[in-house]
Amino acid sequence: MAVLDDIKTLKGIQDTSKDNIISLYIRKATALISNYLNVDSTVDIQATYPDAVVEYVIECINKQGNEGMKQFTQGSRGGTYGNELSDTVLALLPAPYATMLGVGREPNVNDNTGWDIY
């Protein structure tokens, strides 16, 4: 699994002790990205948008233990945690599409546009 391997490489994890928690975060990332893009389960999110999945999981791992926290302050630094996809993850994804009047678009990784009209 390339996404799992990429995450483990970025976090310096060399054994399988964290694979279960990482897999849960990958599953959550896949669901959130599918919902954001408004695509069905036939789209392989991990294969089509691996960088967005990796980024989301890394963000989750980095804030592990602070899941309920909405914002934080450390000296003069501060930040806000959200429950949605971050701007960094959204920047790695195309704009979501809507199906209107029976016309829709589906991701296609085999052409330059990334989308097929059906």
| C-alpha closest to that of 104 among 92, 115, 93 | 115
Q: What is the pLDDT of residue 16?
A: 96
Q: Which residues contact 14 (CB under 8 A, 6 or more apart)?
A: 8
pLDDT in tens, the chain (118 residues): 699 999 999 999 999 999 999 999 999 999 999 999 999 889 999 999 999 999 999 999 988 877 666 677 778 877 666 668 999 999 999 998 776 655 555 666 565 555 555 5
Q: Name the CA radius of gyration of the chain, rounded.
A: 16
Task: Tell me 106's DSSP state.
Answer: E
Cβ pair 103, 70 in contact under 8 A:
no
- pTM for this model (two decimals): 0.73
> Strand runs (DSSP E) across 1-118, as ranges?
71-74, 77-80, 105-107, 115-117
